[in-house]
Structure 1
Amino acid sequence: MHESQIRWRLRRGMKELDVLLTRWFDNQWSQARASERAAFVDLLACEDPDIWSWLMGYSQPPQGPLADAIAGLRR
Structure 2
Amino acid sequence: MSDDREARRLRWLCRRGMKELDVLLEAFLASGYDDLSAAQAGEFRALLELEDPELHAVLLDRLPPPPGVGRGLVERLQRFQSVG
* Unaligned ranges ≥5, structure 1: none
Equivalent residue, structure 2, for 1:54: 58
Aligned-pair CA distance for 1:71:
1.8
- TM-score, length-normalised on structure 1? 0.85
Aligned-pair CA distance for 1:50:
0.5
RMSD: 1.7
Cα distance in 1, alignment partners of residues 24 and 31 from structure 2: 11
- Higher Rg: 2
Q: Give the alignment partner of residue 37 of structure 1, picking from 41, 61, 65.
A: 41
Q: Percent identical across equivalent pairs?
A: 35
Change (3 A) 1:66 1:46: farther
Letter in 2 for 1:22: E
Cα distance in 1, alignment partners of residues 36 and 54 from structure 2: 23
- TM-score, length-normalised on structure 2? 0.77
Aligned residues: 75
Q: Greater relative contact order (Cα 8 A, min sep 6): structure 1 or 2? A: 1
* Unaligned ranges ≥5, structure 2: 80-84
